[in-house]
Chain A
Amino acid sequence: MNRKLVSLLFVFLMVFLSFGVITAQDEVEKPLVGFWESCPTPSNLPATVTVGAIFGLSDAVAVYGVPQRQAVELAVEEINESGYLGETVFEVRFEDSAGNRDQAIFAMTKLVEEDKVLAVLGPTLSSEAFAADPIAQENSTPVMGVSNTALGLTGMGDFVFRNSLPEAAVIPGTIAQAKEVLGLEKVGLLYGNDDDFTVSGYQVFRQALLDNEIEILGEETFAKGDLDFNAQLTNLISQEPDALVVSALAAEATQIILQARALDYNGPIIGGNGFNSPAVLRDTGEASEGLIVGGAWNYGNPNPTESSVRFVEMYEAKFNQSPDQFAAQSYTGAWLMATAIRCADFGADADLAEQRLAIRDALLQIRDFDSPLGVFSFTEDREPLHDPIAQIVSGGKFEPLAVVMGESG
């Protein structure tokens, strides 16, 4: 009798659980991203809509370009499976730019003038964007940078968008918050002076430090590919700064952190986007303790949105690796493009110029879009608007800067 009851209960439980699983699967079907309510399911669109994507898929730049392509592939799969564009198939045509300006120009020309795509995502590097985006602008084709952070990028024309927060949107917040919780008064500044990314990062850091009335004890520079930073670090550390402020790419960032710690410097190190990578944390180990990083998104983001968690899960399941900031931004970029197409809902008989213009106008209208990056909007200047993250490495993980310091202080 007792056994019967137990088995009956067990069967009941199984049925209940499987029901639970099924309903949960039903929920998985519908992505968390997208304007499902704000824009009705489109009915006029042609059978396929094609968007181009230019990423650096070969050469050194592939460390950024390959996650970008994977993230876009993931988004495309989701968009088509969930019927986000109704009966219409969303197609992305990838072209390789190899981090090379000439090739980016060729790829953009091919996509916009030969393949006649509706819009373009990319290119990967800002320097490529400055060369290739004018071609899209001349052809009145929307182009959305998903990893371009250089100053003045969207100033190239009214069809040039980006969803990647420029350094100027991330760094001032990081510095202000760091000053508030750490009481920074004097810092040493170290930056790479032969790379457009690190130089623009340096300029923004410098301005932010001046604005917050933090004294810059000294400025030191290095070049791309340098391995030994001891001379510069010794100079800066000897002046006893409250923090080291560093504008560097991931490869140099790793060495700078390790060598600063080897010189017995235990204070905070403040870095920009270049430090915001799982690789930096992995390669520096314990030395990264106390590293303060501002960024648009992070894998270890302590207070992520639901869609961010879902994105990480799906990305890891599909590609067997953790997504980085570039992947999150590209994923969001593909969704934004699809959303613009959904909301534009142009007719199949509209000519190419009208379709492109409709997408541009729809992109401009996007406000309060729930994405892995947070609540995302485009400004009138086609720049991204969402909360950046200021975080500190504590116990080998990224934690919100304010929370950690609040606890210990």
Chain B
Amino acid sequence: MDLLRSIGITEIVFQLMLVNAILGLSIYLTLYTGMFSLANAGFMAIGAYVGVVLTQNYDLPLWAALIGGMIAAGIVAVPIGLPVLRLRDIYLAIATIGFGEVVRILILNFDTLASSISGESVQLTRGALGITGIPKITETWQLLLFLVVTVYILVRLHRSRFGRAMAAIRQDEQAAATMGINVVYIKNTVFIFSAILAASAGVLKAHLTRTISPGDYGFDQVVNILAFAVLGGTSTWLGPIVGGFVLTALPEILREFKQYRGIVNGVILLVVIVYLPGGLVNINGWKRLWRRIRGQPSVIERIQQNTRSG
């Protein structure tokens, strides 16, 4: 622990590393099923606001707020997922970004809207000012436990019939449908799981950072979440966790570089993306890199050489 602190990873950094790992897993779920959905920041916002209202206005404990936030996001995910998941690739991405913006602007104007409907002054989300003074009640062990349980469920899921169906849909949706897989059902269920996971991260993070405002859940946050999964790799569940850890910890470890921190951080990320295109957790990528460093030809190059010489 002292070693970690000496390189800049204090407890709060470690806690946010865990939160970001959970966020990475939430987008990993949809990516693993072949859906390029970017709705996670929106669901994170729903979770955070519902959770904070439950702990602040109704004095509920954190676990109740967590469940409340997860249920709220799950309920919202159903009517969103049904029409939106008919889209694919970049079209799905754009539609889900749109959803995130709608959530953000709804929260921004919630008080005005509610006041005009109910006729009396409502002070719930406090618009752009955000909610401040939230007590810091999330503990490291709670985050660790949550992450471990999530990973356990994921591992079980991958080996189950449902998990195989997810992989099949990613490979070829039509072939999967032909095989008798209920594509609509699987996609929507995964979308709801992803939403619930993002919402839980939202609740936990809100009770770490003490303050939330709609601006926290804009497009920047979507890109961050996507980066966790892309940098870590999406071939296994370990990828997004490592991605979330690295992207959170790296700027803190590099604090000694002062004003050059951003540059060093960017160069490291660039090198990773260029030399390990499959992400940090990708055995084939490391093997390829090793061969490049050693100067050994890859399998394909060897075959090419053989055909040329033969």
A135-168 contacts to B, CB under 8 A, are 135, 150-152, 156
B12 within 8 A of A: yes
Query: In the complex, which of the residues B8, B10, B128, B258 contacts A195, with contact meaning CB atoms closer than 8 Å?
Result: B128
A172-199 contacts to B, CB under 8 A, are 193-196, 198-199
Given A96-B259, A106-B10, A127-B213 contact (CB < 8 Å): yes
Query: In the complex, which of the residues A110, A151, A156 contacts B8, with contact meaning CB atoms closer than 8 Å?
Result: A110
Mask of B120-161 contacts with A, CB within 8 angstroms, 1/0: 000000011110110010000000000000000000000000
CA A96 – CA B251 in complex, angstroms?
A: 10
CA A96 – CA B8 in complex, angstroms?
A: 14
Query: In the complex, which of the residues A101, A134, A193 contacts B128, with contact meaning CB atoms closer than 8 Å?
Result: A193
A365 within 8 A of B: no
Secondary structure dominating the interface of B: helix
**Nearest chain B CB to A192 CB, angstrom units:** 8
Count, chain B residues at interface, CB 8 A: 32
Closest to A192 in B: B128
Count chain A CB atoms within 10 A of each CB in B5, B109, B128 and give the residue with the most.
B128
Given A57-B259, A130-B132, A195-B128, A114-B10 contact (CB < 8 Å): yes
Q: Is the CB of A200 within 8 A of B129?
A: yes
Instruction: Return chain A residues, CB-CB under 8 Å to B128.
Output: 193-196, 198-199
Q: Is the CB of A106 within 8 A of B215?
A: no
A102 within 8 A of B: yes
CA A109 – CA B12 in complex, angstroms?
A: 8
Q: Is the CB of A96 within 8 A of B261?
A: yes
B297 within 8 A of A: no
Q: Is the CB of A196 within 8 A of B5?
A: no
CA A364 – CA B252 in complex, angstroms?
A: 33
Count chain A CB atoms within 10 A of each CB in B132, B133, B136, B252 and give the residue with the most.
B132
Q: Is the CB of B211 within 8 A of A131?
A: yes
Query: In the complex, which of the residues B13, B133, B211 contacts A106, with contact meaning CB atoms closer than 8 Å?
Result: B13
**Nearest chain B CB to A54 CB, angstrom units:** 12
B93-133 contacts to A, CB under 8 A, are 105, 108-109, 127-130, 132-133
Q: Is the CB of B10 within 8 A of A131?
A: no
**Chain A contact residues (Cβ within 8 angstroms of B): what range?**
20 to 34
Given A194-B214, A200-B129, A102-B209 contact (CB < 8 Å): yes
Mask of A235-267 contacts with B, CB within 8 angstroms, 1/0: 000000000000000000000000000000000
**Nearest chain A CB to B10 CB, angstrom units:** 5
Closest to A95 in B: B255
Instruction: Return chain A residues, CB-CB under 8 Å to B108.
Output: 193-194
Query: In the complex, which of the residues B209, B216, B255 contacts A110, with contact meaning CB atoms closer than 8 Å?
Result: B255
Instruction: Return chain B residues, CB-CB under 8 Å to A152.
Output: 132
Q: Is the CB of A110 within 8 A of B10?
A: yes
B16 within 8 A of A: yes
Closest to A94 in B: B258
Q: Is the CB of B259 within 8 A of A131?
A: no
CA A378 – CA B239 in complex, angstroms?
A: 52
A58 within 8 A of B: yes
B61 within 8 A of A: no
Query: In the complex, which of the residues B11, B16, B214 contacts A102, with contact meaning CB atoms closer than 8 Å?
Result: B16
Closest to B15 in A: A105
**Nearest chain B CB to A167 CB, angstrom units:** 12
Q: Is the CB of B209 within 8 A of A105?
A: yes
Count chain B CB atoms within 10 A of each CB in A113, A127, A156, A195 and give the residue with the most.
A127
Closest to B8 in A: A110
Mask of B45-81 contacts with A, CB within 8 angstroms, 1/0: 0000000000000000000000000000000000000
Closest to B6 in A: A114
28 A-B residue pairs with Cβ-Cβ distance under 8 Å, sorted by A, are A95-B255, A96-B255, A101-B209, A101-B216, A102-B209, A106-B10, A106-B13, A106-B252, A110-B10, A113-B10, A114-B10, A127-B211, A127-B213, A127-B215, A130-B130, A131-B210, A135-B12, A151-B129, A156-B133, A193-B109, A193-B128, A194-B108, A194-B127, A194-B214, A194-B215, A195-B128, A199-B128, A200-B129
Closest CB pairs A-B (n = 10): A130-B132, A130-B211, A199-B128, A196-B129, A131-B211, A194-B128, A109-B10, A131-B209, A58-B262, A109-B12
The interface of chain B, by Cβ under 8 A from chain A, is 5, 8, 10-13, 16, 105, 108-109, 127-130, 132-133, 136, 209-211, 213-216, 248, 251-252, 255, 258-259, 261-262
The interface of chain A, by Cβ under 8 A from chain B, is 57-58, 94-96, 101-103, 105-106, 109-110, 113-114, 127, 130-131, 134-135, 150-152, 156, 193-196, 198-200
Q: 13 new A-B pairs (CB below 8 Å) besides A101-B216, A131-B211, A156-B133? A: A102-B248, A105-B12, A106-B12, A109-B13, A110-B8, A130-B210, A131-B210, A193-B127, A194-B215, A195-B128, A196-B213, A198-B128, A199-B128
